[in-house]
Structure 1
Amino acid sequence: MSMFQIKTDKEHFITATIFEAKDSHTVLVISSATGVKQSYYKRFSEFVSASGITVITFDYSGIGHSLQEAIKRNNSNAADWGRTDLEAVLKYVKIHYPTSKINLLGHSIGGQLIGLSVSALKVSKVILVAAQTGYWKFWTGFIRYRMWANWNIVFPVLINLFGYLPSKKVTGMENLPKNVAKQWCKWCMDPDYLFGDLDEKDLYYEQIATPLTSISIEDDHFAPVKNVEWLTGKYSGATVKRLHLSPQDFGMKQIGHFGVFQEKSRAKIWEILLQEIER
């Protein structure tokens, strides 16, 4: 395992980590969830690497090791994480591993952003894990109105007060640059989510014509099944396989939005993911 920096087309650097597998013919790039440092995927990456596949993780601009200035000064938005940061990583892999297949795994927003990277058109396989629309009306009951309040009141007030979203104080996740948080709020109030905000010429979802596995999780309150299926449908050019994971099927009490990559999932769920990466 070694850490290195990649320069983006916008002239900033993002920090990536490589888990090199000997004689590997496939490179797996992991695109993280919102406010999640790449280190969260370390154990899973070591597991995949030990199976003969090289893995690259990275931190988006303003997150973890890619936060290289005061977060208030970071001007990246959420779309930049896909069209600039992920794009830079995929370009790096193409240059440094020219004969390897590139597989791409996106967790939550990581799966949402794949269609913003033009280089994603060249990958061999896409795996979406709990990748969903965040539009608030897709939820029901009290949580629907709590989300409305977050996007319209709580988060905007915090952003204006701190100059960034202090997520560590609110959710325990990494703090978000102001433009990332503002755009995220905008997307989550739009029935078309990010598709209602971004220029159609910058969207590559329908053009990604590759095998794609989309995974939803029974007890995932951040990505209910219908939210996952909505986003999966945007990858209309792909050959889609759907998997739905239930804790009971694995003798587990819970999986949730983040449990797939935790150590408790090693024995059974990681093997399923590995099969999809290799398939």
Structure 2
Amino acid sequence: MAKPKAAPQKANQNYKPQPIVLTALDGFLLSGALYLPPGPIVTAAPSPAVSRDDNSDLSGGATLKEHVDALTKVVIIGAATATIQDFYYKFAIYLSQELGMIVVTYDNRGIGRSMPGSEQLAFLKAATTHEPLTSGDASAPPLPAKSSSWSKTQEHGSADKAGPGKSSKKNPLVGFQATIVDWALQDLPGVFNYVLERFPHNPTLYVGHSVGGHILPAIDAYYTRNLERVLFVSVTSAHWRHMNSPLFTYWFFYLASPIVNARYGFYPGKTLWGSMEDMPKGCLETWAHWGSFRDYMLGGNPEWKPNFDLFKVPVYSLYFSDDDFSSTSAPRIMKLLPNTLGRCVGIHPVEDLNMKKVGHMGFFFNSCKQKLWQTAVRSWFVDGRALDRDEIKSQAALAGSYARL
């Protein structure tokens, strides 16, 4: 008789993740958060019974599939460009508190709390690794608040303008050298290292939102050796000709942004417009450079192609017809992974979900929980089934009817 599936656990809306410090391959400190599920966490399979007459090489280390399935899964969430990890809080709560998974989120360097020279991160890392502390305070301070906009006087104030005895603040991104390639080859492997060190036997899942999906296949397979399945969300091409507004994109990438970067010394997305987050100017320059090629990131970094060709982890890619950036180019990205077993599904929010808008960011809003998280995400991460568009549409309709009861 088949064992019945456990009922979904009720989310603890008051749950607070544990702040963690992750170390990139080059030693840069990244702010992260660890979400632990309720109930027991299984990190080791039962030791297999070994016959005295079995002298095979695998007899001491073979693991049954049912034992692997019993291990608690670990999910890494890779954020979109200039998006802080806090944006994924509700989704991480769902994965951890309702699906019973361990979840790791983080800020890429130069984003959110992962600022250069962060004393709070250095202190917290020292405290958690039992290294000598440089401060007299016996307790670790809380992580710095998420990034906020900076006034012009803060960004460009100098000591003489501030007046005698007054110190002026300067945005820490001014003069900071970082690119999206650093996010791919330094930061992301460091996150996988953290998971491998603490959960070496547990199957790993990955959620890549936008650039979080672009950079995953670039890293060495050594770090993704426990990776079981991948979910891409709005992982589309930002080649300017593929964008919904190509002329605006060309103006933004190649005319306006270089001037803004030169003026501020970083990309002031939040400072000027309150959209996205401030980020290192080198990251915007990488974005624009990739956007000049039809093969996007592989056009900008062709040396990544061997790793893309070797990437074989199953990928389920979801994109949306009302994506403000690029609503049709997700299949182009999937074609850059020729040896991956993948399914790429385009969803029309109005027709398929009876929702006004999802766009590039809306998948992670709580409004998508019933019609996408509890259907497509649960099916892929729990059952290993990638729903097609018709199945998503029918299950979303069913979820909507339950909501009205």
For normalisation by structure 2, the TM-score amounts to 0.66
Aligned-residue identity in percent:
22
Contact 1:114 1:120 in 2 (8 A): no
244, 255, 275: which is aligned to 2:379? 275
| Aligned residues of 1:133 and 1:193 also touching (Cα < 8 A) | yes
Residue 30 of structure 1 aligns to a residue whose secondary structure is: strand
Task: Describe how 1:88-99 pairs up with structure 2 within 5 A.
Answer: 88-99=190-201
1:39 has 2:55 as partner: no
- Distance 1:73-1:202 versus aligned 2 partners, 3 A rule: farther
Bigger relative contact order, structure 1 or 2, given CA contacts below 8 A and separation 6+? 1
Report the CA distance between 1:223 and its aligned residue: 2.9
**Is 1:20 aligned to 2:36, yes or no?**
yes
Aligned to 1:105, what secondary structure does the other structure show?
strand
Aligned residue in 2 for 1:185? 288
Measure, in 2, the Cα distance between the counterparts of 1:123 and 1:9.
Answer: 19
Q: Is the 8 A contact 1:33 1:107 kept in 2?
A: yes
- Partner Cα separation in structure 2 for residue 53 and residue 113 of structure 1: 23
Cα deviations across residues 47-68 of structure 1 (Å, max 9, x unaligned)? Answer: 1101111111100000011124
Match in the other structure for 1:149: 251
Structure 2 portions without partners, runs of 5+: 1-16, 43-71, 118-171, 385-405
Q: Which residue of 1 aligns with 2:231?
A: 127
1:1-279 paired onto structure 2 within 5 Å:
1-21=17-37, 22-23=40-41, 25-50=72-97, 51-69=99-117, 70-118=172-220, 119-120=223-224, 122-139=226-243, 143-168=245-270, 169-170=272-273, 172-200=275-303, 204-225=307-328, 227-248=329-350, 249-271=352-374, 272-278=376-382, 279=384
> What CA distance in whole angstroms lies between the structure 2 residues aligned with 1:216 and 1:229?
9
Q: CA RMSD in A?
A: 1.6
Name the counterpart of 2:398.
Answer: none
Report the Cα distance in structure 2 between the residues aligned to 1:257 and 1:71, rounded to whole angstroms.
26
* Structure with the larger strand share: 1
**Contact conserved, 1:121 with 1:204, CA < 8 A, in 2?**
no
**Do the aligned residues in 2 keep the contact of 1:115 with 1:203 (CA within 8 Å)?**
no
Higher fraction of helix: 1
Q: Gaps spanning 5+ residues in structure 1: where?
A: none
Q: 1:19 to 1:13 in 2, by over 3 A?
A: same
Task: Give the total of aligned pairs.
Answer: 276
Contact 2:210 2:236 in 1 (8 A): yes
171-180 vs 89-98, greater mean Cα deviation:
171-180
Q: CA deviation at 1:196?
A: 2.0
Give how far 1:133 is off: 1.4
